[in-house]
């Protein structure tokens, strides 16, 4: 009986997740030159995708790799070799509904900006937090935001600030992982105590 109840609760959630994912894909496919892109690294890109997909004005988020020297890296390259890449998400957004500054605030609220070794239970260079900028305006916004946070917390923000170069899309099985592998994702997220750490920092 408990299993049946669990399935009844889970299936509608999965159904709604899939509808949202497909809607986002259709919108992007239609093409809109007014959409913009932002890039953030906050540890596990599965979790970052989930966080940004909920935001009004975000058309789609994609998991991938940025910041390293190796072209077209695989997941194994990034995790097990010193390629310099970090797990990154590409966020396509409508600037009429949200802004880079607002997305940056979402980024902060979903990471531990005081951890220089990685994020939550994922440690290593590929899991470092990075705020990428594409131009001087975005760099100013990031630096001002860091200054404000350091004044608020009276502690150094160790999140890196990098000039964006290239984004390599991750393997298909990583895309929308939180939707396609809902139960496995929840198990991982809970084991990492991600929510507990975030609540402690930001609440």
User: So which residues are the catalytic ones?
Assistant: 44
Task: Note every long-range contact of 67-74, with CB atoms under 8 Å and residues 24 or more positions apart, other chains counting.
Answer: 67/41, 67/130, 67/132, 67/162, 67/165, 71/168, 72/168, 73/168, 74/171
What phi and psi values does residue 4 have, to the nearest 5 degrees? -65, -45
Partner residues linked to 132 by β-bridges: 162
Both structure tokens of 159:
């999140």
Pair 69, 84: CB distance under 8 Å: yes
DSSP summary character for residue 170: P
Burial class (CB in 10 A: 0-12, 13-18, 19+), 180: middle
User: Whole-angstrom Cα distance, residue 82 to residue 125?
Assistant: 8
Both structure tokens of 137:
């305006």
* 3-state secondary structure at position 40: strand
């Amino acid at each position: 009986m408990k299993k049946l109840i669990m399935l009844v609760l889970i299936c509608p959630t999965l159904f709604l997740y899939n509808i949202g994912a497909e809607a986002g894909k259709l919108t992007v496919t239609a093409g809109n030159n007014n959409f913009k892109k932002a890039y953030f690294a906050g540890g596990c890109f599965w979790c970052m995708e989930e966080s940004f997909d909920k935001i009004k004005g975000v058309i789609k988020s994609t998991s991938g790799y940025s910041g390293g020297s190796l072209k077209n890296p695989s997941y194994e390259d990034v995790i097990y070799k010193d390629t310099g890449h970090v797990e990154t998400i590409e966020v396509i957004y409508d600037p009429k509904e949200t802004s880079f500054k607002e997305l940056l605030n979402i980024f902060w609220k979903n990471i531990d900006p005081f951890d220089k070794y990685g994020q939550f239970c994922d440690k290593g260079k590929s899991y470092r937090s990075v705020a990428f900028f594409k131009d001087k305006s975005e760099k100013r916004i990031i630096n001002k935001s860091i200054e404000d946070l350091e004044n608020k917390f009276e502690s150094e923000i160790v999140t890196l600030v990098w000039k964006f170069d290239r984004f390599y899309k991750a393997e298909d099985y990583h895309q929308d992982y939180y939707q396609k592998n809902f139960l496995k994702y929840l198990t991982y997220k809970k084991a990492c105590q991600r929510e507990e750490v975030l609540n402690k920092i930001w609440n």
